[in-house]
Structure 1
C-alpha cells in the first residue's frame, strides 16, 4: 500500500485523527522519497517521526476500547 492508498484508507475509515496511524503514513511517505534525500536529511526526518511517536507516550491508557475498537485484549 503506497502513501496515497493509505491516506485514502484512513479517510474512508475516519481514522485520520488516530496519531499512531498518521505516524505510519509519515513513515510510508518517507520511505517513498528516501532515494531523493541525503542520508542526513533522511535520518533527520526519521528522527522527527520517531520523536512524534515517543511524544504520544501513554495517551491511550484508559481509552483502549475507543482508540483500538472493540474489546481490548479479547475480553481477558
Structure 2
C-alpha cells in the first residue's frame, strides 16, 4: 500500500517520532495563532467608544479653544 515507507521497524519508528515532533510543533503554532486571534477579537469587542467631542487649542498665550470636533464634524469656537 505505501511502497515508499522503509520496510524495517527501526526506521519506521524513527519516522513516527520525527513526524510526532513536527505535529507537536504545528499544533503549538496553531494554538498560538488562535490565542492571538482571540486576543484581537476581544480587543475589538471591549474597545471603548471614541470621544463625542474633541477641543483643538489655538496657538498662543493661554491657548484658547480654536475648534471643536463633534460628531465627526469640525466647528469653529467663538
The TM-score, its normalising length taken from structure 2, stands at 0.32
**Could you say which structure has the larger radius of gyration?**
2
Q: Which has the higher contact order (CA 8 A, sep 6+)?
A: 1
Larger fraction in helix? 1
The TM-score, its normalising length taken from structure 1, stands at 0.32
